[in-house]
């Protein structure tokens, strides 16, 4: 069955409008899951479902071949208070399709779905293809791609659909969030106290500000460590026993999260406890055939500072999709309709070069 790209693009844009109109906050994606199933089934694709994760295998899946995963997510964050447009009212103005999740990551998702349909019944491909439209990406939940992977066949390489202006993010920083504690001696504010936990925090904050990890990644640059929250005290006349900090560490591909954790727990001038070590950095060999196929079409490569479901994957993976990451989680989120058309065209061309 040959379907023109024009038809695929029209159907993909229509699906994106439908997805925008359905609230699908993380953990509440059942109705968008239904819409995605209906889209694929409308092209004769047999779908599978695990929770709100919708997935499908290409028609001529062959266990002797390596497997390519196409993945993007259909959950969204909640709209922020700065919205002036209805976040659930999809509409086009000046070529921009507005709506919550349009850019992150609806445009990528519908473009990948259309691309999967294009290749679904093609014979003689070098790789099998699995399409996975997954849930709970925004909060890295247990029923996200991470929960789906154990029941899928072995994945050899993956394309993760996130807005990259259709350039290839060949590396992505990992994340470790630490809860840190600066201790002191609690006391009445009226009495002398040379061990005030709040004052003790001043040199600790300076230490975090000045600290540098020596290994610098060619694709991702330095590890970035940022104190993002601080909390202490319950009333004006009591010196608190401790100050609680939250430290956000974006890890390059020169370190594992375990190495970062061990180092900071050993060297930091306060107690450091990691919340999780599972969100490691990810990358693909710059000489991988998938990357070369993109480069041959004039696309650029770069390292991404933002986290995605790539962190759940142990295989090589590239982050690639229509839209602009700077629009994600912004008020009045949008994607250009032309970006979806271009995204489908480039996905198909990149994969055609790779799957020959």
In this structure, what CATH number is given to the domain that contains residue 139?
A: 3.40.630.10
One domain, residues 255 and 200: yes
pTM of the model: 0.89
One domain, residues 111 and 42: yes
One domain, residues 164 and 198: no
One domain, residues 326 and 242: no
| Residues whose CB falls within 8 Å of the CB of residue 262, separated by 6 or more in sequence, listed in order | none
According to DSSP, the residues that pair with 113 across neighbouring strands are: none
pLDDT score at 307: 87
- CATH number of the domain that residue 180 is part of: 3.30.70.360
**Per the omega criterion (within 30 degrees of 0), is the bond before 105 cis?**
yes
Q: State how far the Cα of 161 lies from the Cα of 68, in Å rounded to an integer.
A: 13
One domain, residues 133 and 191: no
Q: State how far the Cα of 30 lies from the Cα of 78, in Å rounded to an integer.
A: 16
pLDDT score at 1: 66
Residue 356 has pLDDT above 90, yes or no: no
Number of domains in the chain: 2
Domain with 338 in it: 5-172+281-355
One domain, residues 63 and 134: yes
One domain, residues 19 and 158: yes
Residue 282 has pLDDT above 70, yes or no: yes
Tell me the pLDDT of the chain averaged across its residues: 96
Which domain-ending residue is among 220, 249, 274?
Answer: 274
Residue 215 has pLDDT above 80, yes or no: yes
Burial 92-131 (b: 16+ CB within 10 A, else e): eeeebbbbbbbbbbbbbbbbbbbbbbbbbeeeebebbbbb
Residue 139 has pLDDT above 90, yes or no: no
| Residues whose CB falls within 8 Å of the CB of residue 274, separated by 6 or more in sequence, listed in order | 176, 177, 178, 257, 261
């Amino acid at each position: 069955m040959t379907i023109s790209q024009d038809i695929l693009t029209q159907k993909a844009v229509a699906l994106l409008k439908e997805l925008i109109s359905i609230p699908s906050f993380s953990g509440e994606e059942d109705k968008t899951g239904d819409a995605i199933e209906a889209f694929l089934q409308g092209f004769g694709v047999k779908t599978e479902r695990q929770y709100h994760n919708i997935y499908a295998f290409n028609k001529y899946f062959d266990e002797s071949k390596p497997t390519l995963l196409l993945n993007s997510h259909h959950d969204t964050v909640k709209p922020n208070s700065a919205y002036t447009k209805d976040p659930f009212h999809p509409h086009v103005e000046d070529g921009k399709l507005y709506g919550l999740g349009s850019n992150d990551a609806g445009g990528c998702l519908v473009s990948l779905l259309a691309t999967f349909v294009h290749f679904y019944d093609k014979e003689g491909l070098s790789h099998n293809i699995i399409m996975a439209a997954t849930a709970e990406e925004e909060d890295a939940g247990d029923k996200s791609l991470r929960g789906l992977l154990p029941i899928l066949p072995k994945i050899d390489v993956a394309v993760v659909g996130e807005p990259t202006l259709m350039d290839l993010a060949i590396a992505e920083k990992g994340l470790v969030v630490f809860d840190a504690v600066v201790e002191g001696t609690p006391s009445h504010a009226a009495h002398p106290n040379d061990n005030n936990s709040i004052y003790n925090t001043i040199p600790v904050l300076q230490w975090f500000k000045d600290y540098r990890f020596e290994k610098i990644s060619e694709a991702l640059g330095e590890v970035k460590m940022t104190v993002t929250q601080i909390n202490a005290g319950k009333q004006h006349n009591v010196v608190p026993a401790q100050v609680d900090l939250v430290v956000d560490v974006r890890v390059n591909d020169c370190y594992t999260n375990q190495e970062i954790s061990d180092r900071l727990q050993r060297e930091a001038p306060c107690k450091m406890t990691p919340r999780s070590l599972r969100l490691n950095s990810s990358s693909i060999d710059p000489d991988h055939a998938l990357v070369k196929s993109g480069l041959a079409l004039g696309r650029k490569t770069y390292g991404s500072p933002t986290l995605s479901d790539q962190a759940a994957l142990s295989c090589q993976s590239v982050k690639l999709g229509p839209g602009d990451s700077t629009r994600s989680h912004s008020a009045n989120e949008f994607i250009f309709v032309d970006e979806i058309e271009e995204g489908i065209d480039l996905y198909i061309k990149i994969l055609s070069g790779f799957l020959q």
